[in-house]
Amino acid sequence: MPLQAKLDTFREDFEAGRLGYTVPSSVIDTMRRATAELIASGAAAQALRAGETAPAFTLNDPDGKRVSSIDLLASGPLVVSFYRGAWCPYCNMELQALQETLPEFVKLGASLVAISPQSEVNSRRSVRQNGLGFPILSDPHNKIAAAFGLRFALPDYLIEMHKALEIDLPTFNGDPSWTLPMPARYVIGQNSMVLYAEVNPDYTRRPEPQDMLPPLRRAAGQCT
């Protein structure tokens, strides 16, 4: 099943209370309101686009090892996924789909990393619960997300909802700012040029991992 179909099914089951628990309609309305406002803000249009130069980054993996985009690009193109954290079921489904497609990325000489603001401890949780075989990197204070134009501050009403649901982002991320990245996917060429960019102000929408293959084939000099 395509990734987006899985995400749509989960969202429908979540909102209909078919996951073993009932979600108050006020929570669903708050989530929809926040998403609509973020879309209307035009923030996604300010993010890094295809044809632009991606900023270099060096971040820690769950074991504290420093991972450099420059080092990864020395051996081939790079797929980068920005996600919200292990607490987000949509993000976890995306990570699982990326893991399934990882062998195809590798065949094309590409590396894959995923970046979130969560602490290294919680990044280990992402790796463990999703069975991942690619680097999960911690982005303190969403600094790299900001460099890509993805960081946004949660409105007060959404902060209160997260608190009510016991999603304590300051503790989870080790950052009091209550900021998140818009989910995004990039393919970066070895010259640091962005070959593909998809930014989603609606966190329930994610591109298919297979969408990365055409730009990776072009980067590898293969026909699409």
Strand partners, 111: 78
Q: What is the mean pLDDT of residues 121-129?
A: 94
Instruction: Give the model's pLDDT for residue 222.
Output: 54
Where are the domains positioned within the chain? 3-219
Instruction: Give the model's pLDDT for residue 26.
Output: 95
* pLDDT one-digit tens code per residue, 163-197: 999 999 999 999 999 999 999 999 999 999 999 99
Q: What is the mean pLDDT of residues 99-109?
A: 98
Task: Specify the 3-state DSSP secondary structure of 194.
Answer: strand
Rounded Cα–Cα distance for residues 60 and 62 (Å): 7
Rounded Cα–Cα distance for residues 48 and 204 (Å): 20
149: left (phi over 0), alpha (psi -120 to 50) or beta: left
For the domain made up of 3-219, the CATH class stated in words is alpha beta
Band of the pLDDT at 223, cuts 50, 70, 90? Answer: very low
Average pLDDT, the chain: 96
